[in-house]
Structure 1
Amino acid sequence: MKGELFKTGILKWTLVLACLLFLMFWYVKADQKITVVEGASSQAWLIPYEDAESLTNDVDLVVTGTVMPGMSQTISIPSVAGGSRHYTATEIKVEQVLKNNGQAAENQTLPIVEPTYIIDKGLVPGKIEFPLEHYRKALPGGKYLLFLKWSDNLQKYWVHAGYQGKYNLDGKDVREMELSVEIPKYVQLKEKVKQKYNQVWGMDH
């Protein structure tokens, strides 16, 4: 009798533990999901580019680099309309400098500003992203080709022209790939950027 009770108790605790592990796995997975909330005036001041030359000419810096994991934070600056605007300050390790105004070097850690920010939903699993111009936050550890413009207001380089200023090079940024479906013009511009900077595409070092 005692043996049967013991086996029953073990079975119950095993089931409880299995349920807890399942819930933990589900929560961790669900907490990684990012829901995007586009601003009403998201493209109000977006400069549409049709070729890589124009995009390159309008920026101060073109680099390839890796996003440093754990080195991003939300920053706020006063808005002209009142209140504050929120962005993300991210650090990248520069690997190649393709256009330079004299303020960046290879192997340098460079702080940049991304036109988006993400908030955590607290105990509720998941996160919410509030981007400008259909931008998507760069993936930590991901390698990118970046078109950057200096901001006197922010005293940092800014990813220029929203989604048009950032291109994933290692094929790991699934959220950026989704833009190809949402914005057909992005595909056309990306192909022209690939043609101009073909030496850096598919880099895995």
Structure 2
Amino acid sequence: MEDQKVTYSEVHAKQLSFKTSEEMIEFSELIVLGRAMASENFVNYDKDGFTDDAYTITQFKIDSILEEDKKTNLKAGDIIKVAEPTYIVDKGISPGKIHFSINNYQNMNDTDKYLLLLVPDVKYQDLYVILGVNEGKHNIERIEADKEKEGVPQEDKNKKFKEELMSRFNIKPPM
């Protein structure tokens, strides 16, 4: 029973942050609309047992490519891997798990559609990273009641970016 207990821990981290949504668009290499599919926890440790890489790898199905910086050969219907800044550590013999979230990031769900601003990961060629943690991920189906942005650093700026990006790419909220 205790082994099923999950403790949530927010990790405060200095992140790449943008002044404007235009600056973020210029920095991104891939801007897509789509849906999250399966996700898996990824934690890699160094030789001393310290966390080296840790995140959730989410399979993301592209509905449309809004912008790409270089030719990626991606098209609608393709599935890419996206690193989400959360991960779970199983404490093993000590019961329970710890769910870490960077700057109160909430993972994508598999029912809503998302707008993502991405760059390729520097270490893993087949992995994309979300720009600015919360600044580069926007749930476009939950406009008014988007709880995913509550409690994140610079919450108002994140909501403003979402509005500007939806306008820029002519994304209409669902009826």
Task: Please tell me the TM-score bracket, short chain as reference.
Answer: 0.7 to 0.9
CA pair 165-127 structure 1, distance change in 2 beyond 3 A: farther
CA pair 188-75 structure 1, distance change in 2 beyond 3 A: same
Q: Which residue of 2 aligns with 1:37?
A: 9
**Counterpart among 93, 104, 116 of residue 61 in structure 2:** 93
Unmatched tracts of structure 2, length 5 or more? none
What code does the residue aligned with 1:157 have? Y
Counterparts of 2:157 and 2:131 in 1: how far apart (Å)? Answer: 16
Q: Which residue of 2 aligns with 1:112?
A: 82
Q: Is the 8 A contact 1:63 1:147 kept in 2?
A: yes
Q: Which residue of 1 aligns with 2:123?
A: 153
Instruction: Pick the structure with more helix per residue.
Output: 1
Find the residue that maps to 1:135 and give its secondary structure: coil
Q: How many residues align?
A: 164
How far 1:75 sits from its partner (Å)?
Answer: 1.1
Over the aligned positions, Cα root-mean-square deviation in angstroms equals 3.3
Counterparts of 2:63 and 2:131 in 1: how far apart (Å)? Answer: 19
1:190 aligns with 2:149: no
Which has the higher Rg, Structure 1 or Structure 2? 1
1:171 aligns with 2:164: no
How far 1:59 sits from its partner (Å)?
Answer: 1.2
What code does the residue aligned with 1:158 have? V
Could you tell which deviates more after superposition, 50-59 or 181-190? 181-190
Q: Deviations over 1:95-150 (max 9, x none)?
A: 0101122222111111111111246899xxx9853122332111122210001110
1:54 aligns with 2:26: no
Counterparts of 2:142 and 2:64 in 1: how far apart (Å)? Answer: 18
How far 1:188 sits from its partner (Å)?
Answer: 2.5
Q: Which residue of 2 aligns with 1:6?
A: none
Unmatched tracts of structure 1, length 5 or more? 1-30
Q: Is the 8 A contact 1:180 1:187 kept in 2?
A: no
**Counterpart among 135, 140, 151 of residue 105 in structure 2:** 135
What is the TM-score normalised by the length of structure 2?
A: 0.76
Instruction: Pick the structure with more strand per residue.
Output: 2
Find the residue that maps to 2:54 and give its secondary structure: strand
**Counterpart among 61, 65, 68 of residue 34 in structure 2:** 65
Q: Is the 8 A contact 2:105 2:152 kept in 1?
A: no
Q: Which residue of 2 aligns with 1:5?
A: none
Higher relative CO (Cα under 8 Å, sequence separation at least 6) belongs to 2
Identity %: 26
